[in-house]
Amino acid sequence: MKMTFRWYGDEDPVTLDKIRQIPGMTGIVSAIYDIPVGEAWPLNKIIALKEKIEKKGLTLEVIESVPVHEDIKLGLPTRDKYIENYITTLKNLGKAGIKVVCYNFMPVFDWTRSSLDYELSDGSNALMYDENHIKNIDPLSGELELPGWDTSYQNNELKNLLDKYKVIDNEKLWNNLKYFLEKIIPTAEESDVKMAIHPDDPPWSIFGLPRIIVNKESLERFINLVDSHYNGITLCSGSFGVDRENDIPELIRCFGKKGRIHFAHVRNIKITGDRCFEESSHRSEDGSLDIYEIMKAYSDINFEGYLRPDHGRMIWGETGKPGYGLYDRALGATYINGLWEALKKANN
């Protein structure tokens, strides 16, 4: 297991100087944020980012994420141009020594929550999701704050985009994903860059849009779209875990044994009702997921890939990007490292 931490670049109030002081931290997960979605990432920019991180004694081997242009998800004729750009980006990432690319195939909206600063019982603030609230929101009303967006849309653009998705059901989205993978995986293989799809978050349809990477069955279908080691998964415990039907340790054992988990996101969530949850601290007792069992599954499959603590709460008066403060994610990393040390020593 290689412990990593997400960093949003020079604009991130959580600096590399702070991240390097977290015990056991070895790598950064980042991206290039000033290139519009769909354009190719130039090699010099990737190398500059890598060198900046390496100067601080950390590695950059995982990119999260290279966003997929909506025309690719929609299967529009213009998709080929954007897929060509994606291929160029993968080639450049490979040349720079990047090993894993995390991406997702969620239409329009990336991860979605109904509140970004919900107050938990201990006075800390966290992201939360309440389906009853989301159900009653018109995404065009501007009420919705979505932290995960890689793109910000004008209202008319958003309306246009949502209209285009009216003809896209789950099956069409699967076909468009397959088309994309068939084009890019050969380049991923040649460039030695492992692709790692992030599950849909939450793992069900929102605003009537199709969502397909939601459970074990969909992961099985996904890895068979293109049967290559380079067509892999980001196993996000918190995304899958809000559906009680998803057994996270079982997913880890199943897809880990097949060699398809290239990146692990470890976080806890507390299910508070039907399709309602809040993001708790990483500790097992604080949420609905047993993080010990999750780390034990990674230990059992001898996981040697990249792992990062995922979202954290805002604690000790910290302000910043929702879910991506320093303190609670650092506590998460330390907790995960503690479990890992105990598991390793118990096995010897």
Footprint of Mn ion (CB under 5 A) = 236, 265, 310
Which is catalytic among the residues 86, 230, 324, 335? 324
Catalytic residue flag (residue 229): no
Catalytic residue flag (residue 310): yes
Both structure tokens of 105? 């195939």
Cβ-based nearer residue to Mn ion, 96 or 236: 236
Which is catalytic among the residues 69, 198, 262, 282? 198
**Could you tell me where the DSSP H helices lie in 123-272?**
131-135, 155-164, 170-191, 216-225, 237-241, 248-257
Which is catalytic among the residues 236, 262, 282, 335? 236
Cβ-based nearer residue to Mn ion, 90 or 264: 264
Write the CA distances from 145 to 88, 117, 206, 280, integer angstroms: 32, 11, 14, 20
DSSP SS3 for 5? strand
User: Which of 147, 150, 3, 149 shows the shortest CA–CA distance to 62?
Assistant: 3
Cβ-based nearer residue to Mn ion, 63 or 162: 63
Catalytic residue flag (residue 133): no
From the CB of 197, what's the least distance to Mn ion, in Å?
11
Residues facing residue 195 across a β-bridge = 101, 231
Catalytic residue flag (residue 262): no
Which is catalytic among the residues 265, 282, 306, 335? 265
From the CB of 236, what's the least distance to Mn ion, in Å?
3
Residue type, 303: F
**C-alpha torsion sign, points 210, 211, 217, 218:** positive
Phi and psi based region of residue 202 (left: phi greater than 0; alpha: psi -120 to 50; beta: remaining):
beta
Cβ-based nearer residue to Mn ion, 38 or 323: 323
From the CB of 265, what's the least distance to Mn ion, in Å?
4
From the CB of 198, what's the least distance to Mn ion, in Å?
6
- Position closest to Mn ion via CB: 236
**Residues carrying an active site annotation:** 198, 236, 265, 310-311, 324
